[in-house]
Amino acid sequence: MTTLVLDNGAYTAKIGYSHEKVSVIPNCQFRSKTSRLKTFTASQLDEIKDPSGLFYILPFQKGYLVNWDVQRKVWDHLFGKEMFKVDFADTSIVITEPYFNFTSIQESMNEILFEEYQFQAALRINAGSLSAHRYFQENSSELCCIVVDSGFSFTHIVPYCRGKKMKDGICRLNVGGKLLTNHLKEIISYRQLHVMDETYVINQVKEDVCYVSQDFYKDMDIAQLKGEENTVMRDYVLPDFSAIKKGFCKPREEMNFTGKYKTGEQILRLNNERFAVPEMLFHPSDIGIQEMGIPEALVNSVHNLPEEMQPHFFKNIVLTGGNTLFPGFRDRVYKDVRSLTPTDFDVSVVQPQNPICYSWEGGKLLSENPDFDEMVVTREDYEENGHFICEEKFDI
């Protein structure tokens, strides 16, 4: 019996057998301007030579699975002979779902896993629970941890105590990578070049040049300086998908402060956008989303938990999800949480090596756990008891 671990994110699926390595694959379909008859699924993205104006078809809306047609096409591709060649008669699956997943989505999920694909056993679980599992395995002396999972659709802050999630402390910010990319697209389109159709390219720009400021107003002052003194400004060379396959930042030495280049590449000039965009995670109110930022929400969430646990949470803050890869993210969370908590508490913020696949690795560990067989629902169980048994066993 093999186990397939699938961290089914709204933008990328992290998938792999528990005895193998993880692959990160887009969890969506694409259409391109150049190949007009084909819809590309998941990893077929690599076949598109010119991804300018790439059109996304996503199975998720606001972080919840709503478009099952698309999801099933992606899964057919992932499980099929092109990729994982799943032998359903001899495979169990660990699959992740968002917090407070809607009942009807959970039921559809059961039906599709057991009836459509006919997996032998399934474990549906929150991605954060897998992260927490891994954290407790690696730090066995710790009693509590608080997982910050900042992904594509939203950011969740979830406290765990001895492996159990504490539902009352769960807090969601409606700020995720998608909002950041769209916001960056919007301000670049307004200020210099129309890029509203270029989600793919601008997402790359975001990943390449954005960073989290450690002193926001100081960086704002630097960004207002002219010429050489402005150490924030960067010129980004956009890809043309013939000579330049991937965009990149002009090295500082080659930068021309008049903004005119003889070479003729298309340039985006990024200044305060570099740090003002990720700042949305720390101050959503800057663009009118009236919610707390990550550090404030984290401290607020911990304050609502039993007092004797609080110091343990501040000591074990775990950052997961793609947004935590912005340079300076960890230091900023530490700095802000530190300034919001009394000095007699220790604050420690852990950023794993690979925050995107951290929960997948947790799923891998969990599947090797001796209690794993107790946690899953088998196909016989499901056929006997239906949705009821899944509702009983899975804590979503």
Partner 1 sequence: MVEKKIAVRSQEANQRRVLDRATRQRRLTRQLEALEKDNFQDDPHASLPQLAKRLPQFDESNESSKKRKKTRGDHFKQRFRKNFQALLEEENLSVSEGPNYLSACAEPSKLPQRHFCAVCGFPSNYTCVSCGARYCCVRCLGTHHETRCLKWTV
User: Interface residues with partner 1 (CB under 8 A)?
Assistant: 31-33, 36-37, 39, 53, 55-58, 61-62, 64, 66, 68-69, 72, 99-100, 102-105, 108, 167-168, 170-174, 178-179, 182-183, 185-187, 190-191, 196-197, 199, 217, 220, 223-224, 272-273, 276, 283-293, 296-297, 300
What's the closest the beta carbon of residue 263 comes to partner 1, in angstroms? 27
What's the closest the beta carbon of residue 63 comes to partner 1, in angstroms? 9
What's the closest the beta carbon of residue 141 comes to partner 1, in angstroms? 29
Q: Print the SS3 string covering 232-271.
A: CCEEEECCCCCCCCCCEECCHHHCCCCCCCCCCCCEEEEC
Q: Which is nearer to partner 1, 137 or 271 (CB)?
A: 271
DSSP string covering 18-49, please?
Answer: TTS--EEEE-SEEE-SSSTT--EEGGGGGG-S
What's the closest the beta carbon of residue 55 comes to partner 1, in angstroms? 5
Q: Which is nearer to partner 1, 168 or 380 (CB)?
A: 168
Nearest to residue 121, comparing CAs of 198, 18, 207? 18
What's the closest the beta carbon of residue 342 comes to partner 1, in angstroms? 17
Contacts 24+ apart (CB under 8 A), 236-244: 236/205, 236/208, 236/209, 236/267, 236/268, 236/269, 236/270, 237/265, 237/266, 237/267, 238/201, 238/265, 238/266, 238/267, 238/268, 239/52, 239/201, 239/204, 240/265, 240/266, 241/49, 241/50, 241/51, 241/52
Q: Which is nearer to partner 1, 3 or 272 (CB)?
A: 272
Q: Which is nearer to partner 1, 61 or 231 (CB)?
A: 61
Q: Which is nearer to partner 1, 22 or 195 (CB)?
A: 195
What's the closest the beta carbon of residue 170 comes to partner 1, in angstroms? 5
Q: Which is nearer to partner 1, 187 or 350 (CB)?
A: 187
